Structure 1
Amino acid sequence: MDRPEFYRFHQGDRILPFAASEYDARLAGLRKIMADAGVDAAVFTSMHNIAYYSGFLYCSFGRPYGLVVTATDSVTISAGIDAAQPWRRCHGDNITYTDWKRNNYWRAIRSVTGTGKVIGYEGDHISLAQKALLDEFLSPSETRDIAAATMVQRMHKSAAELEMIRAGAATADVGGFAIRDAISVGAREIDVAMAGRDAMELEIAKRFPEAEYRDTWVWFQSGINTDGAHNPVTARQLQVGDILSLNTFPMISGYYTALERTMFVREVDEASLKIWEANVAAHELGISLLKPGAKCSDITAQINDFFAERQLLQYRTFGYGHSFGVLSHYYGREAGLELREDIDTVLEPGMVISMEPMLTIPEGQPGAGGYREHDIMIITEDGNEDITKYPYGPEFNVVG
């Protein structure tokens, strides 16, 4: 039996999150990056860049995936176990590699790049083992890290991306209202979380009937479980007076959005209310600062000063916001657009960024728990557009 190292298996209709013209525009931007860096071929290995430039979001399960872009070609590289699904969900060509012989993945890539070329790669993603195989199979004349340049490209959203992100934010709101309705004394975190997740899954299916559905989730935390922003859901039962963290995360074709709110079950004590109101005030201050020309580190400093004046800065646990687009909790991050002391990026129209101050008061102190509000802002020509519509603050979020 003839066992090929790789082959093309294309069947079915192609369905993508965006029009072909959107991917052509992204690839044109990438090819300018490549030309400026003197790169002949770019070899992408990360989920976020492969999805950004081709539309295909892979499921690795221990196998490598790729996207090769040259001056003329754009080719996804996928494993045989996925058959033609990668081709149906990608822009450009697709090559399937086989398991018959080790490293057929790199032989498939070499069939596009050739050897002896200047190869661009993602230094923040490719492993040492895979980089060694790149050098062995492609014999590049030189390799150049283009990860940072592609991140900068992804930070500036197209009109089509903004439409997708707005749909995601609206879906997150749907999940938030479903969670609010599900909160009651004695309910478990997992029960409330499932209500929010199910509502978002149905909303995504209604808005995007031809999409693939995966990865939408909820972190709903109560009591001591609110101390960390990414604490998993448990079976803890809600009690009167509990502080709650509502966190909904719809995933649409690789695009992540989020809604996060502080809540209380039925009643909130005076100490907790004071901290909650301070965090809400910091949230509103932060939103007012998100405008073109503002520097991420300067925004951070102003919110730091606000908390320091109230003797609360020591309870801040992370930065005040981050970019949105092709990312999730297990891939992708536009680290150049975060509200932190060490990020000097200047905001520009078309960027998308959250405002999400959080304070964690330790157990045993008055007002113990984690307080967090989260809205998504599109930077406009003269300010920002807040696309999160679920209300924040005590008036709406003492429930159950």
Structure 2
Amino acid sequence: MKYEVNGTMRNVPFAQEEYDARLAHAKKIMRENGVDILFLTSPEALYYFSGYKLSWYRVNSKKQWNYYVPASIAIHVDHDDFAFMDVAGEEADVCEDTVSKDIRIFTHAGRPTYGISGNAGTIPLGGTLMGAIAKNLKESGWLTGKVGIESEKHGLHITKLINNAFVEEGTETFNASEMFDIIRQIKSKSELDYIVKSAKIADVAMDAVKEYLKPGVTENELYAYAAYKMSLSGGELAGCAFIHGGNRVLRGHNFPSHEKLEQGDVVIVDLFGSHQRYSSDLSRLFTIGDLDASRYTDDQIAFLRLAEKYHPLIREKVQSILKPNMLINDFTGELKEFYKELGIWGKQFWLGGYDMGILWPGDCCGGATVYDADMDKKDQRFVPGTAVNFETGFWVIDTLVFYEDKAIIAGDTPWDIVSV
């Protein structure tokens, strides 16, 4: 959506009121924990508070790029707006595609600016962006206490870079990695709606697989066609994509390959739909014609037969027990007992799931919520505002979304094995 912020039109995913509520919520949690300043550098955090999204954030690069990192947001409990800091080359993205009001852009002494403002200062030759940021925050009166940083989000060299820059300015840091996870844990209705939208986009991908899957097609080609169809439906580059078939079937988290699929193959397609960076996870099983049992072991055949027989029943069970604010232990406990009644408990791979939400390519587990049938989650609940994936243990995965008044399975694609 587009609207004006500080006299400039901005193109961002949410209304200004939503961003204001997120910032207010963050400050509330900071005050409750005695934190003056939160310094955020993860792609998820920058996006959550401002709408900022890039393909290259530099924070996962080698130390040779240390002079150029990190793009960052500083939140101070006593300042109305957060401060957004980045290098000159990204100024247009910050000014046009975020809701940032306090924008601090740094130029580099060794590079021409071509009209870039560089309003916050210059990175000296041999210096770093992080050093310039820490100096700027001190000079502007923001370093009034220990700085909470995302110590666990990046490589050690990045954490050291950030910590050392603040120490050089006379300020200590502490690990506040979990604080951002707490701040964003409960999602708004708008966020949940984006996750549901992403599940519908993943449904489109499953339809594309049914349309395109045939002997001679490679896993890569199959993924490319599914991704193309998702893009036409509002999808975008997602966190992860796993396709494995033929002799590679029933593997883990491997890339789609150049191996050609054959008649009689089983193909597992696990794709993340993504819309406005909010993602969902759908996985389904396909066969190219009738299953060719000669291509698989007895254990693999037995596993696939269980998946074929019981997935419709498992979906019915999940649908019948799903409700907002239910205890996580109740959900997993009922399913564990159901699996025992069916005689399939212990034959599944993993019965559980994890947080769905903001994801960037390279990972599919962005949030802190993880659950499974062997975990004791005590009094933790699927409170309204929760979105998680659910893995049946037999290679079907879907996304569960908990609103105030309902809890839904977000994907519409049936859980049955599909023969094409």
1:248/1:260 contact within 8 Å kept:
yes
Aligned position for 1:333: 366
Q: Find the residue that maps to 2:249 and give its secondary structure.
A: helix
Choose from 211, 216, 235 the match for 1:186. 216
Flag the 1:343–1:123 CA change in 2: closer, same or farther, 3 A. Answer: farther
Aligned position for 1:112: 137
2:87 maps to a residue whose letter is: A
2:286 maps to a residue whose letter is: M
Please state if 1:347 is matched with 2:387: no
Choose from 335, 338, 358 the match for 2:393. 358
Choose from 32, 44, 57 the match for 1:60. 57
Matches within 5 A, 1:245-264: 245-264=268-287
Q: Find the residue that maps to 1:352 and give its secondary structure.
A: strand
> Larger deviation: 307-316 or 318-327?
307-316
2:206/2:413 contact within 8 Å kept:
yes
Flag the 1:106–1:283 CA change in 2: closer, same or farther, 3 A. Answer: farther
Flag the 1:349–1:143 CA change in 2: closer, same or farther, 3 A. Answer: same
Q: Find the residue that maps to 1:334 and give its secondary structure.
A: coil
Higher relative contact order (CA 8 A, sep 6+): 1
Aligned position for 2:99: 91
Q: Find the residue that maps to 1:321 and give its secondary structure.
A: strand
Q: Find the residue that maps to 1:227 and give its secondary structure.
A: coil
Aligned position for 1:299: 331
Flag the 1:340–1:275 CA change in 2: closer, same or farther, 3 A. Answer: closer
Matches within 5 A, 1:1-400: 13-58=9-54, 59-61=56-58, 62=61, 63-71=69-77, 72=79, 73-92=81-100, 93-100=102-109, 101=124, 102-112=127-137, 114-139=142-167, 142-204=172-234, 214-215=237-238, 218-268=241-291, 271=302, 272-308=304-340, 312-328=344-360, 330=362, 333-339=366-372, 341-342=374-375, 344=377, 345-359=380-394, 372-381=395-404, 383-394=406-417, 397-399=418-420
Q: What is the CA distance between 1:19 and its match in structure 2?
A: 1.3
2:391 maps to a residue whose letter is: E
Flag the 1:152–1:392 CA change in 2: closer, same or farther, 3 A. Answer: same
CA distance in 2, matches of 1:219, 1:70: 41
Cα offsets for 1:112-170 (capped at 9, x unmatched): 35435221222321544444444443346554433323313322111211221222111
CA distance in 2, matches of 1:155, 1:179: 33
CA distance in 1, matches of 2:164, 2:218: 53
Cα offsets for 1:67-87 (capped at 9, x unmatched): 111132312222333342233
CA distance in 1, matches of 2:261, 2:108: 50
CA distance in 1, matches of 2:228, 2:356: 23
CA distance in 1, matches of 2:360, 2:35: 28
CA distance in 1, matches of 2:187, 2:207: 28
2:328 maps to a residue whose letter is: C
5+ residue gaps in structure 1?
1-9, 206-212, 360-371
Flag the 1:31–1:316 CA change in 2: closer, same or farther, 3 A. Answer: same
> Larger deviation: 85-94 or 298-307?
298-307
1:14 maps to a residue whose letter is: R
CA distance in 2, matches of 1:276, 1:328: 32
CA distance in 2, matches of 1:107, 1:234: 44
> Larger deviation: 316-325 or 237-246?
316-325
1:39/1:144 contact within 8 Å kept:
no
2:27 maps to a residue whose letter is: R
Aligned position for 1:210: none
CA RMSD of aligned residues (A): 2.9
CA distance in 2, matches of 1:221, 1:11: 50
Flag the 1:381–1:89 CA change in 2: closer, same or farther, 3 A. Answer: closer
CA distance in 2, matches of 1:194, 1:129: 35
Flag the 1:133–1:248 CA change in 2: closer, same or farther, 3 A. Answer: closer
Cα offsets for 1:318-346 (capped at 9, x unmatched): 35222211124535622224335336131
> Larger deviation: 115-124 or 21-30?
115-124
Flag the 1:193–1:156 CA change in 2: closer, same or farther, 3 A. Answer: same
Identity %: 22
Flag the 1:284–1:226 CA change in 2: closer, same or farther, 3 A. Answer: farther
CA distance in 2, matches of 1:203, 1:275: 29
2:22 maps to a residue whose letter is: R
CA distance in 1, matches of 2:350, 2:330: 16
CA distance in 2, matches of 1:78, 1:64: 7
CA distance in 1, matches of 2:399, 2:164: 44
